[in-house]
Structure formats: structure tokens, C-alpha cells
Structure 1
Amino acid sequence: MAESETENPVTGHPVIDTREEYNAAVALIAAGSGPIGIDAERASGFTYSQRAYLIQIYRRDAGTFLFDPPALGDFSELNAALTDVEWILHAASQDLACLREVGLHPARIFDTELAARLLGFPRVGLGTVVEELLGIHLAKEHSAANWSNRPLPESWLVYAALDVELLPDLFDIMVEMLHESGKTEFAAQEFQAALDKPAKPTRSDPWRKLSGVHAIRGQHNLAVARELWLARDELAQTLDVAPGRLVPDSSLVAAARVSPTSRQALAALREFSGRATRTELDRWWAAVQTGLTTTDLPDTRVAGDTLPPPRAWAERNPEADQRYKAARAAITALSEERSIPVENLLTPDYLRRVCWAPPADATGESVGRALAALGARPWQIGATAQLIADAFVDALQTIDTPVDPAS
């Protein structure tokens, strides 16, 4: 922290919101040394968009810089200056999309959260990791703040600056820890996978994300839920407000379940509450009417590739159940041996899928190919494929061995 205070060419924590200040900051950052610590603050839960409302960067021999993305727009010059520089982030998957939205595309990253997972830290939040490795208590009281506010309070800016000023120190320690534990290559593959992960495709029926939609019965009721969701989404986009702050999901679901037949009945519905339920009542009533009268009715069930929950496997697919129990036990033991969480050693969904529908000849090689097709990294395949194949053999022997009724 002392280093950033002496190096930063300005006092306090001013936010850079003009191109002149931005260009000067780019030159300073480019002249710095070592990797950069970078973070972004959004306004999740407050705004509709997931854009960055503050981007923080720290680099040794340069200082700390707080940028205002809505005011500045494009960051391509900064991106060009950092092409060959390693970027340190904590929980990179949360910030990469909003950084790319303004033209910041890292070529190499180091994710301190992922590193902490691979190193077996019991808790991997930034505050916990900083306290564990640097002995500094990092308050997180502003993590859920509305960062679209202007001007930003100084206390928020101090918090935001600390989030990046400590990242290079964490980087130095964690690089050594990964090396000592033989996990450097594991980490490199995980970081690259985070960079390469494609954006989730847009759902054709995003309204089905409504919390509680499973409780709605009947196609017209589902159509009402769809139209209410679409109406709310349109208003939320227009106002740039998080949809749930206008009308909560529970209110939309309650209205869809009842499907009131008049505007007055909708207004009288006790469960239909929220800051915009009365001011936009005409909008919601129009959506209900559309849902009740449309001939474009949604399916009550949606086909997908979701597997049954493992608790149902014993009845629905006993052999898969035996394979899964044997393989999961082996993976859990390896997780404890290597001090790597089970979910990082191998994505649980990958394990379930290969257990539900294994290769015809389940060898280490064929299981490895199946895992690779699902998206497992080479280090994960090397650690688990043969183990899973052996577990399948053990499970098959259990299935084939009859139980002695007298035992």
C-alpha cells in the first residue's frame, strides 16, 4: 500500500473521466514494471446492464488508476499498451465480459481466486486470501454497492484501489506456492480455460429463468408468465434498472398462477407488489391479456440434456448409480490427497455425464477422450481418467457379484 501512495502522481483517489487524463494514465501504466492488478466494479442488482462502472488498475512503478468507463468509452489504447503484460484478477470470470465490452482483452491472466482453490485454501474470497497471505484485513463493505452512482464517495474509491494494489503481492507469493506444490501447470491450464471460455449462448426462452416458474401449471398461465417477463424486461432495459427492482419474480409468478381476468383483479392481487406494479399497471394488464388470448402457447415441459439428479439414479439407472458412487469416492479421495477441491479437480457435471453414459470400452484412454469432449483440461484428465476407468471396473464387479441372502 505504501508503494502505491508514493508512486501515484496524484493524491487521493481521483476518477479518470477525460480522454486527456486517460492518455496520460496509459503512458504511465505502459512505463510501469511487472504485471498489472486489474478489477472492475459493476452495479449488479441495481442496473439492467452488466457493464463496468469503474475499472481499477495498479502497476508497480506506475501507481493506481481509477477509470470511469461510461465517460471514457473505448479502452483500445490501454489494451494495446498491455498486450504483452500479464493481468492479475481475482475471480476473472466475473469481470472478463465487462472488460472486453470496453476493448480490454488480456492475452495472459493470473486468477488469484483459482490459484487459491488449487492451493487448497478453505475460503477463497479476496479478503480472506489477502489476510491469509499478507496479514492485511481487507474490508469488503462496498462490494455490493451501486457503482453507477456519481460522484463516487471517497471511501468507495479507497476500497476499489485496495482491491488492485495488493494483487501483485499476492501474485508473487502464489506463484511460488504453486511452484512448490507442483501445480504451476495446473494453474496455467485453468487460467487459459477461463480466458477461452465462450460466452453463454442466449436462451430462446429466457423467461423460464423466473424463480418459481416450475409452480405454474397450464399453457395459458405459462404464456402469462412469459408476457409479464417480456414486459418487465423491456421496461428494465429502457430504464437501465435491474428487473427485480421493478417487480420481483415472485409477483410475476403469483400473477401468472392466478391469471386475473380484469385489470381490477390484477391490482387487487396482494402478492403482486413492487415499485412499478401500480405505476405501470396498464403495461402488466396488457401482458396478462396477451398471455390469456395468444395462440402461441409455450410447452409445459422443455426438452434438454439435463441428467436426472444422482439421488434418482439407483432406480432409473442402477449401473450408472454404481459407477457414479465408485468414481465419486475415488475422486473425493484424490481431492483430499492433493488438497484440491473436488469441483476443481474435475467439474462434477463431467463426472456425472461420463458415469451416466460411459464409453463402450471404458479404459483410461476412452474415458479421457470423453472428458476432453466435455471440456476437461489436460491436467484434470491426466489426474482422473484412469481413476474413473478403474472405478467403473470395481462397480461392474459389484453389480455382477450376487448378494448372498444368508449373509
Structure 2
Amino acid sequence: MYPDSAYVQNEPIIYQPFDSTTATWVDTPEALQAMLRDLKIAKEIAVDLEHHDVHSYVGLVSLMQISTREKDWIVDTLVPWREDLQVLNEVFTDPRIIKVLHGSSSDIVWLQRDLGLYMVGLFDTYHASRLLGYPKNGLAYLLHRFANYQTDKRYQMADWRMRPLPEQMYEYARSDTHFLLYIFDNLRNELLTNSDPAIPNGSLIDNVRDLSKGEALQRYERQFYDSKTGSGLFGWYSMLGRSSGHFSREQFAVFRAVHEWRDQTARQKDESLFHILSNQSVLTIAREMPTRLQDLLGYCHPISPAMRKVAPELIGVIQQAKAAGETGPEMKELMKPRGHAQVQFGTVPAISTPQAVSHVPAANRTSSVLGNRQSSSLATLPTSQFWGSTIGGGFKENWQPPTDGPSLAIPLPPLTAEVFEKQGSDLSPSPINVPIDPGARAEHRYTKKRKPREDDVFIVKEAGYSKRQKKSEMQDGLEPVLASEKNVGGNHNADGDCEQMEIPLRDAEDDEETQERVRRKRERNLEKKLRKQQKKDGEHRGTVIDQNGRMETGEPETFDYENAPSVLHARQEKDRGGKASKGIDPYAKSLNAPKGMRKAQKEGAGRSMTYKS
């Protein structure tokens, strides 16, 4: 359990200035004891590791950063007395001290493997940011959000084995823990604010505690490699399961032999697998099966110095595997579903019943049932690990369709003979209760408009009528009528009787002015249309507008071909301003044709083409 201070909202304690402070370098037993005395009196500490695995098969913890509210330390974990660092378990396993880490999944395993250190009272800020719904969950985002600090990601994959450590890398390592306790304070307050203890699992602090406990309960086990079945973290089974395509017998034999050779070579030279040969290069070599050194190096990109030295050895491995693959197993014979899930450092038996889940530690429960970020591919299982054989395979066979008939979302009307005998019967289905936005239009957009009947009641908006109604009445030759005159409902008095509304009609003079205004507008539109047509087609003579405003076209003038200037022999004459006239030049674009090859310059006697002199 977390101490009581984790469940109380307090003002975040501001961090020490980063520019005016520095970290203490711990590389002697005396400096380690001095740091341990300060850590024992702290309530919260921040921890981070720098791990090197670019040129190492297993990996190596190169630095450890620890911070309190007042001080920062950087511990050299490559010292000869590194076993003495186990004394830090006095602090790391003390439940009264909260250990704040970010993304501790790998750090927990590395601490056990290289230093023999374990964690109790872990608070992982990664899980806290996820529960709070942050858009990003990386440490760089949290540093920028709360401390306005920008990290330099160039040193994330640097070689942390260098001694002495460069100043830029030294400051980068210190920044990972210097602001982390201030970030912890802000996350704790937000988790408490958004918690609801009244509901189950409503305490976000306890949720972070459970997730962090699952990370701390991980156990390190040595990696293994099975060349026959391809099991293991970096086994060929998981790699081939993620790739597409099918190998023949020879190609499959070459693939397994090259994959095993890469693992053995990396172990012997203590290099990473991908520094020897990338996954894509392994697949390409298996597909092409090169037998010459030149072809082999062409398929290895990039080529590391370690690979270039052992490339001739790989040629012999390919030749032997290709010959043995003629009678070897098929790819489909070995790529069958496994009966257990493969995890990072070993195999975990399948869990057949839900009751067995509670007896498995949180770390194993996550890796075996859900799969963690470090696990290899999970094979398809014949039965569910959670439900077991509760849902059998004969479910579809025993299923019978319902006998009550189909159930539709929209009910159909009763289609009987009596319905079709009645004329004008309503065949529409029963109304469906559809929630409509209060601000939406009164008329449903999917309802078809119908023509108004004589007994319909029109609602008078104003003492007028719409433009569309007015236009339709004028086209029909009718006198415009107010919408209020069509209202047969009228006003209702106190007795509920309907009273007709008396609205004055328009005068005849007003109607004549309206018609005259519409006629003039129509003529203006026709004139605009005529000018646009003349501009498009050039001069178009003989076009007139009749009394009704229609456009009529007369006979155009005859073109005089005899007196027209020649187009073929036209010349570009210049006007008084010196500009070329608009005459047609048939040879104007002749120079735009593609040019031929330049004439090769021959070397003369006694002269060299290297230098021009």
C-alpha cells in the first residue's frame, strides 16, 4: 500500500533550478554510502536507468539516475564493485518511500538482472498519464507539459558506456529524474480530483498502484533459443509468423539455419542480433539462397564490420542447409498452432479456468493472458485460456432459426385483402419514436412533400406571402393574393369561435408597377446574356431583341475571302511604339522543337581535355 501522503492533495513542490544545480557523480563506495543516507530520509525518490543494447547481446545497465527534492545523483553501474549496489534495496524495498519511475516495464527486469535490485512502492507515471487520458504518454511530453523542458532525443540511443561521460549526455541523463517528482505531485492531485470512491474501482490512485505493482512483480529469467521449434524471445517461429509468403523445403531449411547462425554468432561476439544481420536480410537470404560471397553481401544492408568478417562462414551454412532441405520438413508442418503462449524469457502454461487467474501473480497474469509489450507472438489456441471449454465448437451446429418469423426494425402495415379494397387507405407504417433535436426544423427532412388540400389550414407569418408563391401565381396569369386571404382558420375569440381576419387587398396600380418592374428586370438579364454571348463568339451581327424581350438572330454578313489578308504569308510588322503587331507568324514556334545532341569535341594533338587552356 502507498503511504497516507499519496492520498492527500498538496501544493506541488517546485523543483530546484536546473541550470544552477548539478548532479553528484557516484563512482566510489564512499559516495554510495553518502547517497544512501540521504535517500533513507526521503519520502519520494525518482529513479531512471540508461541501458545499452546496441553492441550487446543481452544488454547492460550503464547508468542509474536517482533524485530527491533537493539533490540529483548519477551512479556509475560499470564499476568493478557493482555488486555492492545491492545495498540500495534498503531504500528500493521500503514501502514507506514511494519510488517514481516512468515506463518501468524494462527497468524492473534490468535492475534484477544486472544489479539484484527490486522495487516496492512503485508509482509509474506512464500508467497515471494513461488513466488521466493525456494525448501522449511519453516522458518528453510530461516534461514539456509540467516543466516546460525540451529533451534532446539524440542521446536516447547513445553509447552510455563511454567514460568520461560527455557533458551533454550527463545533463540529458540528469533531466530524466530532476523534474519527475514535480510531475508526480501534479499527477497525484489530478488523480485524486478525478477519483470517485463511491463506485467500484473509482480510486485512480489505487488503479495506478495495481498497475505499478504488476510491473514490479516481473521476474527475470535467462533467455533461451530452441532451433528446432523456434521458441524464445527472438526465435524464428515468431519472426516467420509476422512475415508474409511461403518458403519451399530448401528455403525453409536455409531460413532456420541462417537464423540459428545469427543467434550463435551474436552470443559469441556479445553483439546485438540486428548488428549482425537484420530480420529483413535473413528473409531475403532464405528466399534467394546465395552461394557466392558477392551475392550474399548484396543482400545484407547495412553491412556491419562484424558481418563482413564472418560472411564466408555464412556461405558454408547456406550450402549445407540447402542440400539438407531437399528431404527436410515443409514449412506448414512446423508452423502449427502451439499449445501454450510464449512470453519473454520462457513459457507459461495455459490457464484453463477463470478461477486459476487469481492465483497467478500480476506479472505472469498480464503476460500469459493479455500479453505484454516484451512478449513474443501468441499462437492461436484450440480453446480459450479464460473461458476454457465453456463455449464449445458445436454452437453453430445446434443453432436453430427462430420460428416466430422475422423481426424487423420498422414494422410493416397489415397487408390484407380488406386494405386493398378500400381506396385511399393509409399503408404507412406506425410512427416510430425518433428523438429530434429541439433546434431542428419542424418538418422531418425525410418526409416527402405533398400538395396542399382544400381543407388545409395555413399559418399566417406576416401580412404578405412568399416570393416563390408570388412568382407561380404571376406565371399562371392570376392576380397575386395575400397568404392571409387563404387562411380559413382566422382568429379564435373567447368562446372558441373562429373569426375571419380583415386584411386590405393590394391596389391594381401596385400590381401594375410590380409587373413593370419584373419586365424591366427580365430585359436587363437578356441584355447581359447577349453581351456575354457576343464577347464569347466575337461580333455577332443581326441579333435584336423583340417586344417580348426575346433574342432573335438575323443573317450574318458574308465574309470577303478575296480581299482578306493572307494568313500564310503574314509578316510581323511593328507599330509606331516598336511593338510587334498581332499578325500571324506560322514559323513562330519552329524554334521550340527539341534540340539534337551536342557535337562531340574531339581531342586535338598535344592537347588534353582535362583542363581548358
TM-score range, shorter chain: 0.5 to 0.7
1:233 to 2:241 alignment: no
- Equivalent residue, structure 2, for 1:47: 56
C-alpha contact (below 8 Å) 1:15/1:65 kept by paired residues = yes
Q: Secondary structure at the match of 2:268?
A: helix
1:98 to 2:110 alignment: yes
- Equivalent residue, structure 2, for 1:24: 34
Q: Distance in 2 between matches of 1:358 and 1:216?
A: 27
Equivalent in 215, 218, 227 of residue 248 of structure 2: 218
1:70 to 2:78 alignment: yes
- Equivalent residue, structure 1, for 2:142: 129
Structure having the larger proportion of residues in helix: 1
Change beyond 3 A, Cα 1:237–1:139: same
Superposition map of 1:355-370 within 5 A:
370=386
Change beyond 3 A, Cα 1:38–1:250: same
- Equivalent residue, structure 1, for 2:337: 303
C-alpha contact (below 8 Å) 2:254/2:318 kept by paired residues = yes
Q: Distance in 1 between matches of 2:185 and 2:254?
A: 55
- Equivalent residue, structure 1, for 2:349: none
Change beyond 3 A, Cα 1:136–1:254: closer
- Equivalent residue, structure 2, for 1:116: 129
- Equivalent residue, structure 2, for 1:187: 208
Q: Given residue 58 of structure 1, which amino acid in structure 2 is its aligned partner?
A: S
Q: CA RMSD in A?
A: 3.9
Change beyond 3 A, Cα 1:279–1:348: closer
Deviations 1:73-127 (A, max 9, x none): 2221111243212211000112111111211101110001110000110101112
Q: Given residue 37 of structure 2, which amino acid in structure 1 is its aligned partner?
A: A
Deviations 1:319-345 (A, max 9, x none): xxxxxxxxxxxxxxxxxxxxxxxxxxx
- Residues 151-160 or 285-294, more deviating: 285-294
Q: Distance in 1 between matches of 2:407 and 2:35?
A: 74
- Equivalent residue, structure 1, for 2:586: none
**Unaligned ranges ≥5, structure 2:** 1-14, 196-203, 342-368, 373-377, 389-398, 413-613
1:88 to 2:100 alignment: yes
- Equivalent residue, structure 1, for 2:310: 280
Following TM superposition, by how much is the alpha carbon of 1:270 offset from its aligned partner in structure 2, in angstroms? 2.5
Identical aligned pairs, as a percentage? 21
Equivalent in 290, 298, 311 of residue 270 of structure 1: 298
Q: Distance in 2 between matches of 1:44 and 1:399?
A: 61
Task: Count matched residues.
Answer: 324
Q: Secondary structure at the match of 2:48?
A: strand
Deviations 1:332-381 (A, max 9, x none): xxxxxxxxxxxxxx9699xxx9xx9999xxxxxxxxx949x9xxxxxxxx
Following TM superposition, by how much is the alpha carbon of 1:306 offset from its aligned partner in structure 2, in angstroms? 9.8
- Equivalent residue, structure 2, for 1:328: none
Q: Distance in 1 between matches of 2:121 and 2:402?
A: 47
Q: Distance in 2 between matches of 1:15 and 1:230?
A: 42
Q: Secondary structure at the match of 2:110?
A: helix
Equivalent in 158, 164, 176 of residue 151 of structure 1: 164
Change beyond 3 A, Cα 1:164–1:268: closer
Q: Distance in 1 between matches of 2:386 and 2:236?
A: 33
Q: Secondary structure at the match of 1:2?
A: coil
Following TM superposition, by how much is the alpha carbon of 1:128 offset from its aligned partner in structure 2, in angstroms? 0.8
Q: Which has more radius of gyration?
A: 2
Following TM superposition, by how much is the alpha carbon of 1:403 offset from its aligned partner in structure 2, in angstroms? 6.3
Q: Distance in 1 between matches of 2:246 and 2:90?
A: 51
1:174 to 2:187 alignment: yes
Change beyond 3 A, Cα 1:286–1:399: farther
C-alpha contact (below 8 Å) 2:27/2:75 kept by paired residues = yes
TM-score (norm 2): 0.47
Change beyond 3 A, Cα 1:306–1:86: same
- Residues 236-245 or 157-166, more deviating: 236-245
C-alpha contact (below 8 Å) 2:254/2:321 kept by paired residues = yes
Q: Distance in 2 between matches of 1:278 and 1:67?
A: 37
C-alpha contact (below 8 Å) 1:39/1:57 kept by paired residues = yes
Deviations 1:282-315 (A, max 9, x none): 32123223423447757441313799xxxxxxxx
Equivalent in 21, 33, 45 of residue 42 of structure 2: 33
RCO greater where, 1 or 2, for CA within 8 Å and sep 6 or more?
1
- Equivalent residue, structure 1, for 2:16: 2
C-alpha contact (below 8 Å) 1:48/1:242 kept by paired residues = yes
Q: Distance in 1 between matches of 2:402 and 2:299?
A: 52
